[in-house]
Amino acid sequence: MSGMRFNTMLFSGLAVLCLTAPAFAQVKVEKSYKRDMGLAWREGRLELSMDFPEAFTQRLRKRLYNGFTSRILIEALLKEQKKKTPVAQAIVQYTILYDIWEEEFNIRHETPEGRRDLQVSSLAELIGTCAKLERLPLQCMVELPPGTKYQLRVRIVVNPLSAELRKKVREYLSNPNGSSHIGSPRSFFGSFSKIFVDEKAFQADAVYTYRSPKKILPAKSGPE
């Protein structure tokens, strides 16, 4: 202290300071569900069955007719209780394209084991095909001892943005409109950005996460 007197009455009536930046709410859905999922051993393979109709929202249903490619990426991880590393996993991608002239959906189903292409003529058929997993084999990375508690997590990503496009997002977001407060000290040290767009919101149209209750893995059956 330099001996200045302490008699100043200084107060800001509003303890609020607005800086030069509007927010921007992206259309982005991120939801989590707890759901019992079918996990069973068949012929020595651990297989997962579930459905997820929630992912086919009205917005997605409308988008599927837009004539552009849509992707649904499904990742399943089986984790041992209290451990972070998955012990088994699987991945599936659906690529969907509506042919506006033929008025039918082309569907590609891809897994690490192969792919198959389908055509369906209605949205109901498409949802019946793509909104479920039927006996999806999980790739086990370790021997799964019986009697241990596991939890299954399935993550469904609708229209993930490719790495290349994500770089472009960064480029466009790094060039926001700039400041209109020219010349004042506060604008010099204020934000240059007029728009705060959450870069992460461009990663995908929607992300759904399903978690199963913790339960004991069913007994292994079938040939090794």
Partner 1 sequence: MKPINSSKRLAALFCGWMLLPGICWAQDAATVTKDTAGEEPTRVELEDRFKPRYILESIEVRGNRKTHGELILSYVQLKPGESLDEEKVEISRIRLLALGYFRDVRMSLEKGSERGRVKLVVEVDERNTIIIDDLFAGFSETNPFWSGIGVSDINFLGRGLVLSGALVTSEYQQAYRLGAFWPSVFNTNLQAGVEALVSLGEERALANRVRDCDRDQNLEYLRAGGVLSLGMRVDRIHRIKFELHGEHIEDTSKRGNWCATDPHPFAGYLRAGQSTFWSLTFRFERDTRDDFFLATRGMHLVISIELASKIFFGSDYEFSKYMVKYEHSFPAFSNHAFRVSVVGGLIQDVGTPGSPFFSRFFVGDYAFFQMEKDSLPRNLELNFSEVVDYGDLMASVTAEYDIPLWSRGKFFYRGYVYAAANFSYVTKAEFLESDDEEWSGKTKKPVSIDIGMKLDTPIGLFVFSLGYVFDLVF
Binding to partner 1 in span 76-115, by CB under 8 A: 77, 86, 89, 91, 93, 95, 97, 99-101, 106, 108, 110-115
Among 7, 58, 124, 224, binds partner 1 (CB under 8 A): 7
Query: Whole-angstrom Cα distance, residue 138 to residue 74?
Result: 12
Among 82, 163, 222, 223, binds partner 1 (CB under 8 A): 163
**What is the token pair recorded at 43?**
């012929």
| 14 contributes a contact to partner 1 by CB under 8 A | yes
129, burial (CB in 10 Å: exposed 0-12, middle 13-18, buried 19+) = middle
| 9 contributes a contact to partner 1 by CB under 8 A | yes
| 147 contributes a contact to partner 1 by CB under 8 A | no
| 138 contributes a contact to partner 1 by CB under 8 A | no
Nearest-CA neighbor of 107 among 83, 91, 89, 123?
Answer: 123
The DSSP secondary-structure symbol of 119 reads E
| 131 contributes a contact to partner 1 by CB under 8 A | no
Among 56, 123, 173, 211, binds partner 1 (CB under 8 A): 173
The DSSP secondary-structure symbol of 199 reads G
Q: Residue 200 or residue 215: which is nearer to partner 1 going by CB?
A: 200
| 191 contributes a contact to partner 1 by CB under 8 A | yes
| 193 contributes a contact to partner 1 by CB under 8 A | yes
Q: What is the CB neighbour count within 10 angstroms for residue 23?
A: 9
Neighbouring-strand partners of residue 90: 76
> Please, what is the minimum distance in Å from the beta carbon of residue 23 to partner 1?
4
Neighbouring-strand partners of residue 108: 95, 117
| 48 contributes a contact to partner 1 by CB under 8 A | no
Distance of CA 107 to the CA centre of its chain: 20
Among 48, 87, 204, 206, binds partner 1 (CB under 8 A): 204
The torsion angle over the Cα atoms of residues 77, 78, 81 and 86, rounded to 10 degrees, is: -60
Q: Residue 51 or residue 199: which is nearer to partner 1 going by CB?
A: 199
Q: Residue 147 or residue 185: which is nearer to partner 1 going by CB?
A: 185
The DSSP secondary-structure symbol of 103 reads T
Nearest-CA neighbor of 68 among 33, 96, 37?
Answer: 96
Query: Whole-angstrom Cα distance, residue 5 to residue 2?
Result: 9
Q: Residue 176 or residue 220: which is nearer to partner 1 going by CB?
A: 176
| 134 contributes a contact to partner 1 by CB under 8 A | no
| 194 contributes a contact to partner 1 by CB under 8 A | yes
